[in-house]
Amino acid sequence: MDSTKPTVLPRPDNLWQHGLIMLILILLVNLAQTVLGICALFQFLWMLIAKERNAGIARFGQGLAQWLAVTARFVTGDADQRPFPWTSWTDTRAE
């Protein structure tokens, strides 16, 4: 068993602002889940009709998955990197 302790980040300087951003991101995560469900439905219908995957929907899904990962790390306190809309969409990468 590994006895090393995980690294804990220091408390944010402006805790109330950090909490407000967390609240906004939690609302955006719920919206993202709805968008993900719609994309999944469209992708299924596309594959049913065209007999192939839609690359645009798949690429968007990959970006959304990366955003959700970075957002989850931020709201749980594992990272200080703010996700989109505070950074560009392409910079939203899980590290």
| Most confident by average pLDDT, 6-15, 35-44, 66-75 | 35-44
What does the pLDDT read at residue 80?
84
- The backbone region for 11, taken as left when phi is positive above 0, alpha when psi lies in -120 to 50, beta otherwise, is beta
pTM above 0.85, yes or no: no
Average pLDDT over residues 18-23: 91
Residue 94 CB contacts under 8 Å (≥ 6 apart), including other chains: 66, 69, 70, 73
Residues 5 and 57: their CA atoms lie apart, in Å, by 40
Phi first, then psi, for residue 25 (nearest 5°) are -65, -35
